A and B are shown apart, each in its own frame.
Chain A
Amino acid sequence: EDQVTQSPEALRLQEGESSSLNCSYTVSGLRGLFWYRQDPGKGPEFLFTLYSAGEEKEKERLKATLTKKESFLHITAPKPEDSATYLCAVAGGGADGLTFGKGTHLIIQP
């Protein structure tokens, strides 16, 4: 059974204070790892897909990296508008559906 563990559960940062969110996974045959952002009362919003170890992707202040056992979402000089819950998900085996972690609730204080 695929498993995804995210840490920390919650993180409070000052504006401009860079940090990283962790996503550890156990999956039989990783086919893709996904990062989503979810704001309160809304559906998850797609950020990145990573397909193989060593791959990196960037978007504005966010950078996602992937190893064989975990992924990191690096947030550089965050702003209050980056406050949200960040979800990590994997697709493994022969199925297209995603297995999600519980998320990291990120708060950026001005």
Chain B
Amino acid sequence: DAGVIQSPRHEVTEMGQEVTLRCKPISGHNSLFWYRQTMMRGLELLIYFNNNVPIDDSGMPEDRFSAKMPNASFSTLKIQPSEPRDSAVYFCASSFRTGVYEQYFGPGTRLTVT
């Protein structure tokens, strides 16, 4: 299997611009997670979906962040407008079933907002 696929791998944008990060989970997996990693705060959960339905978005920093999962094979994380403090590596992970099971991470998108 191809593993979790994320695009783009690197994104550089200016403050105020809209940014869209994309994720394709492993085929057949029913849960999808978005995390953010920074040196200061480590890996933090932003939001997760079970069977395409958002379950917990309490980690989303503010209203500038939104996530969707229109079908089982695609999810987006959008930041509008972007700010320099949003600079981080954003990871998508998927798990083969709902509940507490191992999550498989993608390679991440490194976002730099200038």
Assembled-state Cα–Cα distance A100/B59 (Å): 13
Q: Which of B76-101 contact A (CB under 8 A)?
A: 91, 93, 95, 98-101
Q: Counting CB contacts under 8 A, is B25 at the interface? A: no
Q: Counting CB contacts under 8 A, is A45 at the interface? A: yes
Contact of A31 (CB < 8 Å), options: B33, B44, B100: B100
Set of chain A residues within 8 Å of B103, measured between Cβ atoms: 34, 46, 98
Considering only CB atoms and an 8 Å cut-off, how many residues of chain B contact the other chain?
A: 26
Q: Counting CB contacts under 8 A, is A103 at the interface? A: yes
Q: In this complex, what residue of A is CB-closest to B98?
A: A96
Number of A-B contacts (CB under 8 A): 58
Q: Which of A76-110 contact B (CB under 8 A)?
A: 87, 89, 91, 95-103
Given A91-B100, A96-B95, A96-B98, verify A43-B105 contact (CB < 8 Å): yes
Q: In this complex, what residue of B is CB-closest to A45?
A: B105
Assembled-state Cα–Cα distance A44/B45 (Å): 14
B42–A103 CB distance below 8 A: yes
Q: Counting CB contacts under 8 A, is A49 at the interface? A: yes
Q: In this complex, what residue of B is CB-closest to A44?
A: B105
Assembled-state Cα–Cα distance A46/B31 (Å): 16
A42–B102 CB distance below 8 A: no
B48–A96 CB distance below 8 A: yes
A-B contacts besides A42-B107, A91-B100, 13 pairs, CB < 8 Å: A31-B100, A32-B101, A43-B105, A95-B55, A96-B31, A96-B33, A96-B100, A97-B45, A97-B48, A99-B45, A100-B42, A101-B42, A103-B42
A95–B105 CB distance below 8 A: no
Assembled-state Cα–Cα distance A34/B103 (Å): 9
Set of chain B residues within 8 Å of A34, measured between Cβ atoms: 102-103
